[in-house]
Amino acid sequence: MIVLPYTSLTTASLSTEIVGATIRIFDEIDSTNTFALEQGTDGMVIVADHQTSGRGRLGRSWHSAPGLGIWFTIALDGVLEGITFAAALAVRDALADRCSPTIKWPNDVLINGKKVCGILTEHRAGITALGIGLNVHHRREDFPEELREKAGSLETEAGSGWQRVAVLRDILNHLDQKVILLRNGGFESVRAEWAEACGMIGRVIRCDEATGTVSAIDELGALILETDQGEHRLLSGDITFLD
């Protein structure tokens, strides 16, 4: 008998208006983002126990082994500015009762400095795929060797007793509030909350070839970096803190 962790996830079990309007649950899928881009409708949640071709940012793959994490995507109509900021805040807020998550620019969620969650937003033909990967039951040895220094899971960083379906429900409920806010013109309040949560102002960082001090986060979420060569604008990338 196959027992899927998400059988109790239904629209009626959520406190949402938009997110979770329809729900698709898979034992295995290539990528929940691909499904959303090809077949998503507004508010659809696609969740899988296992992704065979999970995608990460910057063209990377995303380790999505069965039984270990929450691999899911929310499909939304059109392009909703600020949705990636909203997702990072929703994940942080959903976990905050049990631990102290932080947001690392641009949209990773960390606990104790270890990345537990990544977010990948993609668009195609009028649909947004907001993909979220959250490591839950991993032990250190469950991660590929090259990830072990930087990655963590809810269990490695915040103890046992996490139930994937309950965590997912909490995230979806928080995210729905933010989607409603964004659709009602609340971009600036979401952006400001996210920028504050990133805590970047004054930090000394390196990103690819650029090293400098962050002086601001602009209206699109880009970092403004003061470097020896002058001002540098970073819209995405992998940053390392030097201070």
What is the SS3 assignment for 62?
coil
Alpha carbons 221 and 162: distance in angstroms, whole number: 32
Which of 74, 76, 120, 158 is close enough to bind ligand BTN by CB under 6 A?
120
Among 26, 42, 50, 56, binds ligand BTN (CB under 6 A): 56
Between residues 92 and 212, which has the closer beta carbon with respect to ligand BTN?
Answer: 92
Counted residue by residue, the chain has a size of 243
Q: Is 161 exposed, middle or buried (0-12, 13-18, 19+ CB in 10 A)?
A: exposed
CA distance 33 to 36: 5
194 part of the interface to ligand BTN, by CB under 6 A: no
Residue 134: CB minimum distance to ligand BTN, A? 8
CB atoms within 10 A of CB 1: 2
What is the footprint of ligand BTN within residues 131-150 (CB under 6 A)? 131-133
Amino acid at 23: I
Using CB under 6 A as the binding rule, whether residue 35 contacts ligand BTN is answered as no
Number of residues that bind ligand BTN (CB under 6 A): 21
End-to-end CA distance of the chain, in Å? 52
Judged by CB under 6 A, does residue 118 bind ligand BTN? yes
Residue 170, SS3 per DSSP: helix
Interaxial angle between packed helices 83-95 and 164-183, expressed in degrees from 0 to 180 and rounded to the nearest 10: 140
The residue within the footprint of ligand BTN, chosen from 16, 23, 51, 223 (CB under 6 A), is 51
Binding flag, residue 156, ligand BTN (CB under 6 A) = no
Question: In whole angstroms, what is the distance from residue 178 CA to residue 186 CA?
Answer: 8
User: Closest CB to ligand BTN among 18 and 26?
Assistant: 26
Strand partners, 75: 129
Stretches 114-122, 169-177, 186-194, 227-235: which one binds ligand BTN (CB under 6 A)? 114-122
Residues 68-107 as x/- pattern, contact with ligand BTN by CB under 6 A: ---xxx----------------------------------
Q: Which residues contact ligand BTN (rule: CB under 6 A)? A: 31-33, 51, 54-57, 60, 62, 64, 71-73, 108, 118-120, 131-133
